[in-house]
Amino acid sequence: MDFLIYSNHPRMKEFIIKSAFTVFDQLDELPTDVMSLMKDAVAIRKNAYAPYSKFRVGAALLLDNGKIILGSNQENAAYPSGLCAERVAIFQSGALYPNAKIVKMAISAASDHNTTNAPIPPCGACRQSIAEYEFKQESNIEIFFMGETGAIFKSDSLKNLLPLMFDKNFL
Ligand code: THU
């Protein structure tokens, strides 16, 4: 991600933020370890508790100690009390292995209503939560996301997905 400063207007400055993604057209284009991680994310979708949205999300994390941590979205009749798959997974990771680093994250989402062909990115709240762990571990997390079928997008870091993020340096 870069910041381009344009200052040629006499009274106005602006900057443009660029984010770059790698696109894989299908699962078998992924590196072997990521393909396996994505298959874990797809498989764990079945454990989503999504009676309200019928939208099932799976997340799989690869840690630097070799462990794989899984999460699926867990909904609640009081809607905001539910939690996304990504945060279920990263909080589980932090709870079980507080000193391990998250190296890669794979996300897959599918609706019971229709087929999601587009890559489904993590929501804003999940991005903020994942950002916290990148700062904590002082290393990037590679994030791969897809729908039910179709292309997979890869971001080299969460920072790419959340420009101008709020972090501990502002406190
Ligand atoms: N959801 C996730 O699990 N991850 C996201 O990043 C987006 C949304 C879940 C929350 C809710 O259970 C359902 O998908 C519909 O929003």
Instruction: State pLDDT tens for residues 39-89.
Output: 999 999 999 999 999 999 999 999 999 999 999 999 999 999 999 999 999
Nearest alpha carbon to residue 37 among 86, 92, 107, 118: 107
Least confident of 11-15, 30-34, 66-70, 131-135: 11-15
Does 160 sit in the ligand 1 pocket, CB within 6 Å? Answer: no
Question: Given the CA of residue 126, which atom of ligand 1 is nearest to it?
Answer: 6
Catalytically annotated residues: 86
Q: Is the pLDDT of residue 127 over 70?
A: yes
Q: Is the pLDDT of residue 3 over 90?
A: no
Does 91 sit in the ligand 1 pocket, CB within 6 Å? Answer: no
Give the rounded percent of residues in the chain with a pLDDT score beyond 90: 89
User: Higher-confidence residue: 8 or 115?
Assistant: 115
Nearest alpha carbon to residue 35 among 43, 159, 132: 43
If you take atom 6 of ligand 1, which residue's CA is the nearest one? 122
Average pLDDT, whole number, for the chain?
94
C-alpha 78 to ligand 1 mean position (Å): 14
Question: Given the CA of residue 82, which atom of ligand 1 is nearest to it?
Answer: 12
Contacts of 68 by beta carbon, 8 Å cutoff, 6+ apart: 37, 40, 60, 61, 62
User: Higher-confidence residue: 46 or 15?
Assistant: 46
Three-state DSSP class for residue 55: strand
Confidence (pTM): 0.93
Q: Rounded mean pLDDT of 84-97?
A: 98
C-alpha 104 to ligand 1 mean position (Å): 19
Does 121 sit in the ligand 1 pocket, CB within 6 Å? Answer: no
